[in-house]
Chains A and B, each alone.
Chain A
């Protein structure tokens, strides 16, 4: 198949308008004949469900939590970008587009990113109309703050709970459609597979997580809004149930996967403190404005921080990057922290942490000023670690945070399977090799509120509106396969828990396919992953049955898919022999040991096609064309 991104002709700024005009329409009387399945109820899923139902389509929305108000979008703290230019500080659609493309290290599509910047303003209007309580100035106007990667103040926020408030807005719009009978909301359902008939998406197979029943659902189109796959690393800032299963099943049914190795690692998280740890917690990056990062100069120095004299401390970011210092971008900060720890200079009980020290700032500005700026973050830190950063340095370590890769979609957000659309973090389209802060919320809502309502009609207008039924043998067969997999998992009855094996996979991925990669490490990982997978299928133990609420079984199903997906990630990482965005390929560095992008050979999207179990995936290339921006090399020295 030749990949056609279906990017409209014409000047960048006119593409979306032209496309909207060229999109085929479904007339209002016919919309009620079409059924659409939406999987996931985070920002992208909830906003898409509500908007499609408002148009008149019959929507069935699924989520695996007990309520559609809990998707992990809810945990986003910082804010949402929009090119409103309310601050009169030089912002514009083009500037937001430019910052996002540049932030993504020139590995995203111009047309998609420009559209994202265009609709960003509508998102803010829409959310305010829903009653989202954004922060305001005294005069009643909306407040903005600045965020990494931009020199303008364009971030709208609701305290440190922006994701929560935006999600509750989308959720309220969704529940309004439930009341109207246009959305059927099915909670505690996990999608296990996609049903494809004659090359077209026709429905999904789900497991009712309370009864264990395997259910089939038919529709004219399926929208996946199932989030990212950061939990392949076991520890991440993702919610515990975030997984790759829906996307992976779609991949195995014919949807291509794009740039799976593009993963963002956030530099300021609370470090790991023991093997039982289940989850990493993010601390806002704003802390690096006043905190100084350091480690002891001598490896293995276990003295408490206060007893280490100035001349035995290594302020490695300030020394290495004199002009940006502690404010280097996320990937540079993350990579250097890991490097220090790998040299044995890490601090804390596990040696996997570096100090972020506020003592100089407290001395300079006074404790009240620092407390006012960061008090809430310090409080959150103290709650988890019982240490107060006003009195001793904070300890931080990088953590997996966001996955830029995802299912490949064209400009219409349709995957390579007709009728399967992919939204939000689950697709690959807008963030290139690195996502800027406050852009995830923007993309989720752009896709759901303002893109899919137009583009899905363009597809539905080309297919029959005849009733879809689950009677087709493909539904029975796909359901039987899903049930067989569950039986197989339960039958292993080995000696290791799901989490033990998941943790093993996670460590392997963190070491070989994390922020710095090299060919040798990646090749070793490719040898090791099948062994871990084999161990899982031979030796996992899952108590209970498949006919009840069984959380071990749920996790096992997700880990089984991570164990397959991990291999594709490594294959992708191996094939991209350049450093770009969030990751450093050790073979591709400048003389100053900085990331070196290679536009001659890698200015493309790497797209992978499933060719069969235990067979190598087939590689496809979507070249990236930059007509409006000139790719430039970053430097932070």
Chain B
């Protein structure tokens, strides 16, 4: 274990309509065993004792699975480590004397609530539009009634691993949510249970994405690079196929 000191430039914004600005803080001594969020905890404890308002940031499980945390560190959502959420990023990946610029996930569809906290309810709205299988509780057939090839189940799982953090949107120059929508459409179109609604789902989720103000995909691949769960952009290709098939060949309107 060793200690480093950092200069932190953190986005402070009192509320959605208030002006925001970067404020500079000296981190004080930071153990390299700390996680990034623990480093923010230490700063917040100090600010609190100085009678100042701590930095608001979203977080919950701190195991990299709930998808609640996330901020842009030096221009990269969730920071520099590949396939790592902010809560699993450890300070040993930074050097003594580094300056870190810490900003919220920015997108037209993500309103800033306070400091690093943003409103990602758009992601829920896209799931509401069609990211489900219409089956009521009770009456489901035996779980082994429909065999699913292992490869399909694995591929579906690759896509289903999305944690809904919104880093893909923050990374995209167009603030597109294509990777998020593609992950859900892929997950369900790879499984037989998702087939009856696959055309409707693709059309509805894409429509909702457009209406919420997310941008279009222009193949920048930033989303894939930022995704803490390594969701592949091949899913976007699959979404495009699903969408085109639905728009041209299905009898859904």
Contacts and interface: CB of A to CB of B under 8 A. Distances in A.
Contacts of B31: 273-274, 276
A608 B122 CA distance: 44
Nearest to B62: A279
A128 B59 contact: no
Interface stretch (B48-56, B171-179, B238-246): B48-56
Interface stretch (A11-19, A163-171, A510-518, A627-635): A163-171
Interface string B88-108: 101010000000000000000
Interface in B106-141: 113-114, 117, 119-121, 123-124, 127-129, 131-138, 140-141
Interface residues of B, number: 76
B142 interface: yes
A551 B137 CA distance: 37
Nearest to B164: A69
Nearest to A545: B53
Contact of A543 (B15, B52, B58): B52
B126 to A, nearest CB: 9
The secondary structure that dominates the B interface is loop
B210 interface: no
Contact of A126 (B14, B38, B123, B140): B140
A500 B42 CA distance: 11
Contacts of A137: 150
A140 B152 CA distance: 9
Nearest to B57: A551
B66 interface: yes
A65 B66 contact: yes
A218 interface: no
A175 B113 contact: no
A542 B51 CA distance: 8
Contacts of B157: 133, 135, 158-159, 165
Contacts, number: 219
Given A69-B164, A75-B61, A131-B188, A273 B33 contact: yes
B49 A281 contact: no
A66 B58 contact: yes
B188 A125 contact: no
Interface residues of A, number: 81
B205 to A, nearest CB: 12
A126, A128, A179, A349, most chain B CB atoms within 10 A: A128
B19 interface: no
A158 B113 CA distance: 34
Contact of A168 (B129, B143, B150, B160): B160
A491 to B, nearest CB: 15
A521 to B, nearest CB: 29
A542 B161 CA distance: 37
A441 B22 CA distance: 43
Contacts of B149: 136, 140
A176 interface: yes
Nearest to B136: A54
A75 B66 CA distance: 7
Contact of A66 (B37, B63, B119, B194): B119
A306 interface: no
A552 B42 CA distance: 13
B232 interface: no
B92 A74 contact: no
Contacts of B59: 240
Given A126-B140, A172-B127, A349-B1, A549 B114 contact: yes
A65 B127 contact: no
A179 B129 contact: yes
B42 A276 contact: yes
B28 to A, nearest CB: 11
Given A141-B147, A281-B63, A543-B52, 18 more contacts: A66-B121, A69-B67, A70-B66, A72-B60, A75-B63, A75-B66, A84-B144, A126-B138, A131-B187, A136-B147, A142-B144, A176-B132, A179-B129, A384-B90, A450-B138, A541-B48, A542-B48, A551-B56
10 contacts: A66-B68, A66-B119, A130-B135, A187-B124, A279-B62, A384-B90, A385-B33, A386-B33, A497-B45, A543-B52
Interface of A: 47, 50-51, 54, 65-70, 72, 74-75, 84, 86, 122, 124-131, 133-142, 158-159, 161, 163-165, 168, 171-173, 175-176, 178-179, 185, 187, 210, 239-241, 273-274, 276-279, 281, 349, 383-386, 449-450, 453, 495, 497, 499-500, 541-544, 548-549, 551-552
Minimum-distance CB pairs A-B, first 5: A140-B147, A172-B132, A129-B140, A125-B140, A133-B157
Interface of B: 1, 14-15, 31, 33-35, 37-38, 41-42, 45, 47-49, 51-54, 56, 58-63, 65-68, 84, 88, 90, 92, 113-114, 117, 119-121, 123-124, 127-129, 131-138, 140-144, 146-150, 153-154, 156-157, 160-161, 163-164, 187-188, 191, 193-194
